Structure 1
Amino acid sequence: MSAKTTIVTGITGQDGQMAARLLLEKGYRVIGTSRSGRGPTGLDVPVVAWDLIDPSVIEGLLQTEQPQELYNFAAFSSGAGMYDRPLEIGDINGLAVGRILEAIRAASPHTRFAQASSSELFGLAQQTPQNESTPFRPRSPYGAAKLYAHAMIDIYRERYGVFACSAILYNHESPLRGPAFVTRKIARAAAEAKVGRLERLSLGNLEARRDWGYAGDSVEAMWRMLQAEAPADYVVATGRTHSVRDLCACAFGHVGLDYRSFVTEDPDAFRAAEPVEIVGDAGKAARVLGWLPKVGFEEMVRMMVHAELRAIEDQGAPTR
């Protein structure tokens, strides 16, 4: 039997890389897309240039390759930038998903589709924890665009019979996380403090809490969604929250330091607080898919700090 073929959009990002590696380990033939047409370092897979605007590119790729599965990770990131460039966010994070679904319907209707959605769908949630039945109340252009994509998945599933799933992902991290994210900033700062390079790290509200999981666990959940008998949407979360202060204590503690000697709060960087705690109930994923997170919070943070220490050592700076 020939290997399954899958397309991974946004293959240069954290989730795209993690998904590609998982799928290669499972024996898939992986094809990636990125804006530049270049793939990440160390990942030897063909990559097609696609900016998510021109539908003919993805339709042509689907027509030619007839993949069994497609995973969409191409999007503007969340975090501090989710209010920037709202029209572009709407196009890339929302309308582009409609383009993919329509291309699947037209060119490769057997292809199973997994969308990396977001807990930002819930936004100003009125209940905690959140599950698949919790009403959506996005509060940012990012969340609104993701909600459009989520609705289109439901429409194409019900109207056209496309096997499409939305993974409502809560915060998920790894050493591949981009440098603008607070988890990566803290991991990098802890490593730099260890080698004597850091004086201060200024952050927003240290009491802000997030449901932080490991990106590798999140992409495995998405893979399991596409192996299920029927398509559905799933919350993917750990069910536990930790504060930014917890993250700092764990990261700096891993290198034998007290974060309080390095980290300060900047009130100007505070984000508006949620009315209730944003924490996910992934019970449906556990029941239907047999999915449970494997990597805990402390292990994930240590993994990130260790990767930053290795990067510093590779640059020639000795650790103490």
Structure 2
Amino acid sequence: MKRKSALICGVSGQDGAYLAQLLLTKGYEVWGTSRDAQGNSFSNLNFLGIKSEIQLVSMDVEDFRSVWVTIKKAMPDEIYFLSGQSSVGLSFEQPVETIQSFTIGVLNLLEAVKMMNYPVKVYHAGSSEAFGDTLGIPATESTPFQPRSPYALAKASATWLVNNYREAYQLFACTGILFNHESPLRPQRFVTQKIIQTSKRIAEGSSEKLILGRMDISRDWGWAPEYVEAMWLMLQQETPEDFLIATGQSFTLQDFVSTTFSKLGLDWKNHVEQSSELMRPTDLAISKANPEKASQRLAWKAKMNMEQVIEGMLNSSL
């Protein structure tokens, strides 16, 4: 019996690496793409000890021929689109690149799948940022998108593309609308990893200060290795549907900071400064979620809360 195969677009990122690890444990043949597979160090895959088990290929998501050739080569049962510029802050500096990386990439993928002569299931990584500011009301799958950043706009556009192709061509294509999810594999440019690493250095004797922007914003922080299981579960359903993935609990960034320093035996107020230079042109005050649909339909529920996420990141040897 043929092993199921999966193609992960963007396998070198946090979610791509954890998803590859999960699929390998389930017996999948895993293919992973990067813009330059030969030049990429795939440090996350090496950290997880799985690089040698994945068939790595170069693919440019913005080049249709590259996408088509890669899919024809891998002949996957499932495709997970996790590619694209993943930083909200950086999207204000690189709006064109951010929007193209998602919208053109997803469009090329959907067109290629539409042309395949066998059924392929497609997962697209959406984002809670697309909801914009819901004024503290927990978002659900039916909450309208009101994007407030180039990143959010790109994610919203890509989600609408997936919906359109699903309805127009009966593709098995769905979007996971993921709220913030962290892990030791988060890059340093993400505020959670910046907080974790800076606080650890301070605890070890560094005299530096942790410089942050707004600290009153609220976010729903989950554990990335749990969220990739939800991605997989979406493609195991009989019909394609979008699902919101979150813990259902929101905390302020100040909560995240104070909890982190407290676990290291420090008072955050002695080590943190705020800078107007780190304030974004627009930022969501409160990000809240109602993940009830995923709980009922996927039997998926987040196990780790914010405090446990912080512990997991602090205890990492990465």
Aligned-pair CA distance for 1:282:
0.9
Aligned-pair CA distance for 1:71:
0.6
The code of the aligned residue for 1:96 comes to: G
Match of 1:302, SS? helix
Match of 1:227, SS? coil
**Map of 1:290 onto structure 2:** 299
Gap runs ≥5 in structure 1 = 312-320
**Map of 2:12 onto structure 1:** 12
* Deviation string, structure 1 residues 150-184 (Cα, Å, up to 9, x no partner): 11111111111110110111111100001001100
When the two structures are aligned, how many residues end up with a matched partner? 308
Alpha-carbon distance between aligned partners in 2 of 1:198 and 1:189, rounded to the nearest angstrom: 10
Q: 1:60 to 1:224 in 2, by over 3 A?
A: same
CA contact (8 A) 2:198 2:210 kept: yes
* Deviation string, structure 1 residues 183-211 (Cα, Å, up to 9, x no partner): 00011012111211242111112221111
CA contact (8 A) 2:199 2:210 kept: no
Alpha-carbon distance between aligned partners in 1 of 2:69 and 2:117, rounded to the nearest angstrom: 10
Alpha-carbon distance between aligned partners in 2 of 1:33 and 1:198, rounded to the nearest angstrom: 41
The code of the aligned residue for 1:63 comes to: K
Does 2:118 match 1:147?
no
Aligned-pair CA distance for 1:148:
1.6
1:304 corresponds, among 290, 293, 313, to 313
Does 2:68 match 1:76?
no
The code of the aligned residue for 1:262 comes to: H
The code of the aligned residue for 1:9 comes to: C
Match of 1:168, SS? strand
The normalised TM-score by structure 1 is 0.92
Match of 2:235, SS? helix
Between stretches 190-199 and 201-210, larger displacement belongs to 190-199
2:127 corresponds, among 118, 124, 143, to 118
**Map of 1:22 onto structure 2:** 22
Coordinate RMSD, CA, aligned: 1.6
* Deviation string, structure 1 residues 110-156 (Cα, Å, up to 9, x no partner): 11111110011111435611111111111222111112211111111
Alpha-carbon distance between aligned partners in 1 of 2:117 and 2:66, rounded to the nearest angstrom: 14
* Deviation string, structure 1 residues 21-62 (Cα, Å, up to 9, x no partner): 111111111100011113342322121111212111221222
Counting only pairs closer than 5 Å after superposition, residues 95-244 of structure 1 correspond to structure 2 as 95-107=104-116, 109-125=118-134, 128-244=137-253
Match of 2:6, SS? strand
The code of the aligned residue for 1:36 comes to: D
CA contact (8 A) 1:123 1:137 kept: yes
Alpha-carbon distance between aligned partners in 1 of 2:135 and 2:216, rounded to the nearest angstrom: 20
Alpha-carbon distance between aligned partners in 1 of 2:189 and 2:297, rounded to the nearest angstrom: 35
Q: 1:291 to 1:108 in 2, by over 3 A?
A: farther
Alpha-carbon distance between aligned partners in 2 of 1:36 and 1:93, rounded to the nearest angstrom: 18
**Map of 1:94 onto structure 2:** 103
The code of the aligned residue for 1:266 comes to: S
Alpha-carbon distance between aligned partners in 2 of 1:124 and 1:255, rounded to the nearest angstrom: 33
Aligned-pair CA distance for 1:212:
0.9
Does 2:284 match 1:274?
yes
**Map of 1:317 onto structure 2:** none
Aligned-pair CA distance for 1:2:
2.7
Aligned-pair CA distance for 1:270:
2.8
CA contact (8 A) 1:109 1:162 kept: no
CA contact (8 A) 1:125 1:135 kept: no
Alpha-carbon distance between aligned partners in 2 of 1:183 and 1:70, rounded to the nearest angstrom: 29
Q: 1:177 to 1:288 in 2, by over 3 A?
A: same
Does 2:276 match 1:262?
no
Alpha-carbon distance between aligned partners in 2 of 1:234 and 1:163, rounded to the nearest angstrom: 14
Alpha-carbon distance between aligned partners in 2 of 1:208 and 1:273, rounded to the nearest angstrom: 8
